[in-house]
């Protein structure tokens, strides 16, 4: 009888321990991208979530959501701050309402090229500066969380641009700081949702537009509405997107899971960058085969954009909070140091 009672007690203890372990180790996060299901960044975001769940043996289950399905698109970081989402993959520049300096670690004129930007973020204090910028919010990031993406197309245009004066009065769809810099050069800049760009070109609402990489732009069929594909890294040398997490949720993770999350994210952000470079090479030929005239922006115009961008950021550095100048000068100094090796 005593043996039987002991056996029953042992089973109950094992069940209790198993349940306790399950309660301690089973963590569920919700994560959102910022784009539609077909967007490469959204696809990679979803793969990251599944990879984390698999790599942790299900101890951390990360449920992926498409941009706009939990909160309005581009409002993901507000949801992370409020713990509605525990993780999000989005462009820093969508949060200029909170942090003007967020536009610096974004697709912007005069920024660092992709691999240089990622190196600055991971090894030269970039992630720390972003966290400093976000002080007061329950949001954080870490090295490896930034995917630079390849340089964007300077412009898709109905008009050939060969000199600075060609920009004057040109109706251009441009977002963020890039649009502000083009305004300084005389362009008439309009803010138009990415999904409305194609129709806006058809209806002659705009003459030219910026959007994304060659790979993404080909998938949007922009060859049908713009004859000229103008290449230059000067407006957007990279288009960084970053994984952000809720700070409180992060602090509760076991240390080994934190390591897994960082390693998985770092691996996939690098993969996304490499994948889009490969796809953009293919897309370049597709634009040519479709009859578009693909050419590089003349140096005269590149130099004018670079000069206008430096003036723009120098002025903003004086007006904004100190973190703005700290990030701008850090990126600028790192870029100069990198270029000195060439």
Same fold: 25-150+238-278 with 155-237+291-339: yes
Residue 296 pLDDT more than 70? yes
Rounded to whole angstroms, the Cα distance separating 115 from 193 reads 28
**Cβ atoms within 10 Å of 4's Cβ, excluding its own:** 8
Can you give the pTM of this predicted structure?
0.84
Residue 146 predicted with pLDDT over 70: yes
Q: Which of 151, 172, 161 is nearest to 283 (CA)?
A: 151
Task: Decide: residue 119, CB within 10 A, 0-12 exposed, 13-18 middle, 19+ buried.
Answer: middle
**Can you identify the CATH homologous superfamily of domain 25-150+238-278?**
Bacterial extracellular solute-binding protein, family 7 (3.40.190.170)
- Give Cα 297 to chain centroid, integer Å: 25
Q: Which CATH architecture has domain 155-237+291-339?
A: 3-Layer(aba) Sandwich (3.40)
Beta strand 171-173 with 208-209 is parallel
Helix (H) or strand (E) holding 43: helix 40-55
Report pLDDT for 24. Answer: 56
Residue 316 in this model has a pLDDT that exceeds 70: yes
Alpha carbon separation from 202 to 144, 197, 292 (Å, rounded): 40, 9, 16
Residues 6+ apart with CB under 8 A from 230: 153, 154, 155, 156, 157, 161, 295, 296, 297
Of the candidates 181, 202, 23, which has an alpha carbon nearest to the alpha carbon of residue 109?
A: 181
What residue has token string 């770092």?
266
Where do the domains of the chain lie?
25-150+238-278, 155-237+291-339
Mean pLDDT of the chain: 91
**Count of all residues that appear for the chain in the document:** 342
Q: What is the DSSP string of 127-168?
A: HHHHHHHTTTSSEE--TT-EE--PPPPSEEESS---SGGGGT
Report in angstroms the alpha-carbon separations of 185 from 167, 168, 170, 304, 327.
7, 7, 10, 8, 25
Q: How far apart (Å, rounded) are the C-alpha atoms in residues 180 and 165?
A: 17
Cα angle vertex 209, ends 208, 213, to 5°?
Answer: 135
- For the stretch 98-125, pLDDT in tens is 999 999 999 899 899 999 999 999 999 9
Q: What is the 3-state secondary structure (H, E, C) of 70-86?
A: CCCCCCHHHHHHCCCCC
Tens digits of residue pLDDT in 198-250? 999 999 999 999 998 999 899 899 999 999 999 999 999 998 999 999 999 99
What's residue 149's pLDDT?
87
């Amino acid at each position: 009888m005593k043996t039987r009672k002991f056996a029953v007690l042992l089973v109950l203890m094992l069940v209790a321990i198993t349940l306790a372990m399950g309660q301690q180790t089973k963590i569920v996060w919700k994560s959102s991208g910022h784009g539609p299901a077909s967007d490469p960044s959204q696809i990679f975001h979803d793969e990251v979530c599944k990879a984390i769940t698999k790599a942790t043996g299900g101890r951390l289950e990360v449920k992926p959501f498409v941009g706009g399905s939990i909160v309005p698109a581009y409002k993901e970081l507000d949801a992370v701050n409020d713990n509605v989402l525990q993780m999000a993959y989005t462009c820093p520049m969508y949060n200029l309402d909170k942090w003007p300096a967020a536009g610096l670690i974004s697709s912007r004129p005069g920024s660092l090229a992709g691999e240089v930007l990622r190196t600055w973020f991971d090894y030269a204090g970039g992630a720390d500066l972003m966290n400093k910028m976000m002080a007061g919010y329950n949001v954080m990031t870490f090295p490896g969380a930034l995917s630079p993406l390849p340089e964007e197309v300077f412009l898709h245009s109905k008009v050939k641009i060969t000199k600075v004066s060609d920009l004057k009065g040109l109706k251009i769809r441009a977002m963020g700081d890039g649009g502000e810099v083009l305004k300084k050069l005389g362009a008439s800049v309009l803010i138009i949702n990415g999904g409305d760009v194609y129709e806006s070109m058809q209806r002659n609402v705009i003459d030219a537009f910026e959007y994304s990489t060659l790979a993404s732009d080909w998938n949007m069929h922009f060859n049908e509405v713009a004859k000229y594909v103008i290449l230059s890294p000067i407006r957007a040398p990279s288009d960084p997107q970053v994984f952000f997490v809720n700070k409180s949720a992060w602090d509760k993770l076991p240390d080994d899971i934190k390591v897994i999350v960082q390693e998985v994210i770092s691996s996939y952000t690098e993969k996304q960058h490499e994948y889009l470079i490969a796809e953009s090479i293919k897309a370049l030929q597709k634009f040519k085969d479709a009859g578009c005239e693909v050419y590089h922006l003349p140096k005269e115009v590149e130099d004018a954009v670079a000069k206008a961008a430096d003036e723009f950021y120098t002025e903003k550095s004086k007006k904004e909070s100190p973190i703005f100048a700290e990030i701008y000068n850090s990126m600028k100094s790192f870029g100069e140091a990198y270029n000195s090796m060439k």
